[in-house]
Structure 1
Amino acid sequence: MTANVIGFALLVMGVFLLVGKMIRVSVPLFQSLFLPSSILGGFAALLLGPQVLGNLLEPLTGEDSFWSTGLFTEGITEVWAALPGLMINVIFASLFIGKKTPSLKKILNYGGPQLAFGWTVGWGQYVIGLLIAVLILTPFFGIPPMAGALIEIGFEGGHGTAAGMQSTFQELGFPQAYDLAVGLATIGVLSGVIVGIILINIAARKKQTAIEMDENSFSDLQKLGIREFENREAAGKMTVRSESIEPLSFHVAMISIAILIGYGIQQAFIGLEAITWGPWTDTYVMTYIPLFPLAMIGGILLQLFLDRFDRFNLVDRQMVMRVQGLSLDVLILTAIATISLAVIGEYFVPFLLLAIAGIGWNVLAFKLFAKKMIPSYWFERAIGDFGQSMGITATGLLLMRIVDPNVETPALEAFGYKQLIYEPFLGGGLVTALSVPLIYSLGPIPFLIFAFLMSLIGWAAGIFYFGKQNTESF
Structure 2
Amino acid sequence: MLRGIDPMSASMVGMSFLVLGMVLLLGKLIRVMSPTLQRLFIPSSLIGGFLALFLGPELLGKLFLWIGYNDTFLSGGIFPAEMLDIWTTLPGLFISIIFATLFLGKEIPGIRNIWFLAGPQIAHGQTIAWGQYVFGILITILVLTPFYGINPMAGALIEISFEGGHGTAAGMASTFEELGFSDAADLSLGLATVGILFGVIFGIILLNYGVRTGKAAVLKNADHISLNERYQTGIIDFDSRESAGKITTRPESIEPLSLHFAYIGVAIGIGYIILQGLILIEKITWGQATDIYLLAHIPLFPMAMIGGVILQKFLDRFDVYQTLDRDLMMRIQGLSLDILITSAIATLSLTVIGNNLIPFIILATVGIVWNLVAFMFLGPKMIPSYWFEKSIGNFGQSMGMTASGLLLMRIADPADSSSALGGFGYKQLLFEPIVGGGIFTAASVPLLFYFGPVPVLILAAIIMIFWGGLGIFYFGRK
Q: TM-score, normalised by structure 2?
A: 0.96
2:287 is aligned with 1:270: no
Cα distance in 2 for residues equivalent to 1:401 and 1:10: 32
The answer for the alignment partner of 2:351 in structure 1 is: 342
The answer for the alignment partner of 1:405 in structure 2 is: 414
The answer for the alignment partner of 2:146 in structure 1 is: 139
How far off its partner does 1:61 sit?
6.4
Find the residue that maps to 2:41 and give its secondary structure: coil
Which stretch of structure 1 is more off in the superposition, 222-231 or 151-160? Answer: 222-231
2:209 is aligned with 1:216: no
- For residue 178 of structure 1, the aligned residue among 170, 177, 185 is 185
2:306 is aligned with 1:297: yes
How far off its partner does 1:373 sit?
0.7
The answer for the alignment partner of 1:54 in structure 2 is: 61
Give the partner amino acid of 1:216.
S
Checking the alignment, whether the CA contact within 8 Å between 1:162 and 1:181 is kept in structure 2 is yes
Find the residue that maps to 2:181 and give its secondary structure: coil
How far off its partner does 1:59 sit?
4.8
Cα distance in 2 for residues equivalent to 1:275 and 1:338: 38
How far off its partner does 1:304 sit?
0.9
Checking the alignment, whether the CA contact within 8 Å between 2:90 and 2:343 is kept in structure 1 is yes
CA offsets, 1:62-85, max 9 Å, x none? Answer: 544321111101011111111011
CA offsets, 1:278-305, max 9 Å, x none? Answer: 0111111111000000100100111111
- For residue 157 of structure 2, the aligned residue among 129, 150, 156 is 150
2:9 is aligned with 1:2: yes
1:31-42 aligned within 5 A: 31-42=38-49
- For residue 94 of structure 1, the aligned residue among 101, 104, 124 is 101
- For residue 231 of structure 1, the aligned residue among 236, 240, 243 is 240
Give the partner amino acid of 2:22.
V
The answer for the alignment partner of 1:285 in structure 2 is: 294
Checking the alignment, whether the CA contact within 8 Å between 2:123 and 2:467 is kept in structure 1 is yes
Checking the alignment, whether the CA contact within 8 Å between 1:384 and 1:396 is kept in structure 2 is yes
1:60-459 aligned within 5 A: 62-211=69-218, 212-213=220-221, 214-220=224-230, 222-459=231-468
How far off its partner does 1:445 sit?
0.4
Give the partner amino acid of 1:210.
A
Find the residue that maps to 1:69 and give its secondary structure: coil
Find the residue that maps to 2:430 and give its secondary structure: helix
Checking the alignment, whether the CA contact within 8 Å between 2:225 and 2:412 is kept in structure 1 is no
Checking the alignment, whether the CA contact within 8 Å between 1:85 and 1:164 is kept in structure 2 is yes
CA offsets, 1:336-358, max 9 Å, x none? Answer: 01000000100000000000000
Checking the alignment, whether the CA contact within 8 Å between 1:61 and 1:67 is kept in structure 2 is no
RMSD over aligned Cα atoms: 1.0
Checking the alignment, whether the CA contact within 8 Å between 1:182 and 1:336 is kept in structure 2 is yes
Change (3 A) 1:256 1:442: same
Cα distance in 2 for residues equivalent to 1:304 and 1:132: 42
Cα distance in 2 for residues equivalent to 1:20 and 1:205: 34
Cα distance in 1 for residues equivalent to 2:142 and 2:228: 45
Checking the alignment, whether the CA contact within 8 Å between 2:164 and 2:437 is kept in structure 1 is yes
Checking the alignment, whether the CA contact within 8 Å between 1:61 and 1:68 is kept in structure 2 is no
Find the residue that maps to 1:67 and give its secondary structure: coil
Which stretch of structure 1 is more off in the superposition, 207-216 or 366-375? Answer: 207-216
Q: TM-score, normalised by structure 1?
A: 0.97
Question: Which consecutive unaligned segments of at least 5 residues does structure 1 have?
Answer: 470-474
Cα distance in 1 for residues equivalent to 2:71 and 2:255: 46
CA offsets, 1:100-128, max 9 Å, x none? Answer: 11122210011110000011110000000
CA offsets, 1:30-49, max 9 Å, x none? Answer: 00001100000000000011
How far off its partner does 1:365 sit?
1.1
Give the aligned length.
468
How far off its partner does 1:139 sit?
1.0
The answer for the alignment partner of 2:3 in structure 1 is: none
How far off its partner does 1:230 sit?
2.3
Question: Which consecutive unaligned segments of at least 5 residues does structure 2 have?
Answer: 1-7
CA offsets, 1:416-473, max 9 Å, x none? Answer: 011110000000000100000000000100000000000001001101111123xxxx
Find the residue that maps to 1:226 and give its secondary structure: coil
Give the partner amino acid of 1:257.
V
CA offsets, 1:369-424, max 9 Å, x none? Answer: 11111111111111000100011100000000111112222100000011110000
Cα distance in 2 for residues equivalent to 1:111 and 1:147: 32
Cα distance in 2 for residues equivalent to 1:208 and 1:141: 41
- For residue 16 of structure 1, the aligned residue among 23, 36, 60 is 23
CA offsets, 1:75-98, max 9 Å, x none? Answer: 111111110110100000100000
